[in-house]
Structure 1
Amino acid sequence: MSSVHASVDIRAGKHDHQPPRVACTGLRPLPYRRMTMHHDKPHPGAVWIAAAHPDPDQVWEEWRSLLAVALIPAGTDWDAVSMRYRRMVAVAETLGPVCDNWVVLSDLRIDRVYVLVPTGTAAQWSEPGTDALSESDWLVVPEPGGTATSRAAWIREPTATTELADPDTLLAALRVIADNGKQP
């Protein structure tokens, strides 16, 4: 297992500092604002997400529809690891700022969070209590920087400097949570 971060020893479950509480409280869906394509440049994260679809123009049309969400396939530019929302909160508390730049999507109506990871992760993923999504799976995705929906919301939306979650780091945090009996 690779080293997680200079300030976190995930194998021992100890930190050389206390992770900021912001890591946990920061896991709330982001507020949205209506973006008009005629006046504003597209959000860089929206461009990145739309590019994962075989027809990016269709994604923009779906985001402009009444539902304001698009179906985006996993397995093209990224895979996703799905888990319960409270479990992701425990991951954030365990890792602290290590996961601050990860892209995280939520569907709170069904208590699921989707962490975007590199393509190919799903083929080897087998952590209990999580599901890996890849080529045959699609996610309901609101526009990053766009309109709020009751179906899906970004917890950490993609940006111009998007980082996919490191699967080894995510797996190590999930196992520390399980080992410490803090599995929500």
Structure 2
Amino acid sequence: MQSTGPTRAVAWLAAAAPDPDACRREWQRSGAGVTLLPAGRLWDVLLVPGSLGRPALQVMERLPRGGPVLWDPGDDSLGFLVPAGTAAHWVGTGVRGAGAGSWVAVPHPERRGPGLRWLLAPDGSGRLTDPVVLELALHEAAGRLGGPVEHP
């Protein structure tokens, strides 16, 4: 029997960890439901200010399902999971990249409540955000907003 839904998503995310079993245990033990995972193995993260990331996500919603997207309300940023290696080559005003050598706080796929959470949770398929589509969506969103958006 194949695992589906959250079980597949947990397995997929945990596979990025040096010790996937320890990752799953940390999610179970942690009251916050968040653990650190290394970027650059299965995916990178592009961090976009919420003022630009939310409109870009709206643009992308017109397309077939994209990859997982994190939201950190603490600094109001969106984290788009993109293919590994993308962060090293990304050039964009106000966009920060977390790639090889970076660790990213990642919530359990079913995490609800305050703090870091998924706007689009992983489904376990390995689907990531296409960087070309993200770039075009960011340009369209910036154009709608009247130009580049500065990040404090």
| TM-score under structure 2 length normalisation | 0.83
Structure whose CA Rg is larger = 1
Task: Show the counterpart of 2:83.
Answer: 118
Equivalent pair of 1:101/1:162 in contact (CA under 8 Å)? no
From 103, 106, 110, the equivalent of 1:141 is: 106
Q: Does 1:127 align with 2:92?
A: yes
Q: For 2:58 and 2:129, how far apart are their aligned partners in 1?
A: 15
Equivalent pair of 1:103/1:164 in contact (CA under 8 Å)? yes
- 1:161 alignment partner AA: S
Which 4+ runs in 1 deviate beyond 3 A?
Answer: none
**How many corresponding residue pairs?**
144
Three-state SS of the structure 2 residue aligned to 1:59 is: helix
Task: Show the counterpart of 1:60.
Answer: 24
How far is the alpha carbon of 1:101 from its aligned partner?
3.0
Task: Show the counterpart of 1:74.
Answer: 39
How far is the alpha carbon of 1:175 from its aligned partner?
2.0
> Compared with structure 1, are the counterparts of its residues 159 and 42 closer, same or farther at alpha carbon in structure 2 (3 Å cutoff)?
closer
Equivalent pair of 1:92/1:99 in contact (CA under 8 Å)? no
Task: Show the counterpart of 1:33.
Answer: none
Equivalent pair of 2:14/2:23 in contact (CA under 8 Å)? yes
* Ranges in structure 1 where 5+ consecutive residues have no aligned partner: 1-40
Task: Show the counterpart of 2:131.
Answer: 167
Task: Show the counterpart of 1:51.
Answer: 15
Equivalent pair of 1:121/1:167 in contact (CA under 8 Å)? yes
Equivalent pair of 1:68/1:149 in contact (CA under 8 Å)? no
Instruction: Calculate the aligned-residue CA RMSD, in Å.
Output: 2.2
| TM-score under structure 1 length normalisation | 0.70
- 2:106 alignment partner AA: V
Q: For 1:176 and 1:69, how far apart are their aligned partners in 2?
A: 32
* Ranges in structure 2 where 5+ consecutive residues have no aligned partner: none
Q: For 1:122 and 1:79, how far apart are their aligned partners in 2?
A: 6
Percent of aligned positions that are identical: 31
Equivalent pair of 1:76/1:119 in contact (CA under 8 Å)? yes
